């Protein structure tokens, strides 16, 4: 499964959760958490400049 990680509108990277975690110096679980509905809902009320991840579908 690949993810795209954004900070606001800026794309920080595309890759597996492990690759992105290493690049951003966070845990793999953190990358996965950034893509959950609960996290997305939480950040809508706060700063829009936070990191989010989006699961990319396989073709």
Q: State residue 20's pLDDT score.
A: 98
Residue 46: per-residue pLDDT: 64
Contact between 54 and 35 under an 8 Å Cβ cutoff? The reply is yes
What is the domain range of residue 18? 2-56
pTM, full prediction? 0.85
- How many domains does the chain fold into? 1
CA dihedral 12, 16, 18, 23 (to 10 degrees): -20
pLDDT confidence of residue 59: 59
pLDDT in tens, 4-44: 999 988 999 999 999 999 999 999 999 999 999 999 888 87
Q: How far apart are CA 35 and CA 32, in angstroms?
A: 6
CA distance 10 to 59: 24
């Amino acid at each position: 499964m690949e993810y795209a990680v954004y900070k606001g509108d800026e794309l920080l990277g595309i890759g597996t959760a492990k690759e992105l975690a290493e690049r951003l110096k966070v845990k793999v679980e953190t990358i996965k958490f950034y893509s959950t509905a609960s996290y997305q809902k939480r950040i809508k009320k706060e700063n829009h400049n936070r990191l989010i991840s989006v699961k990319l579908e396989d073709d």
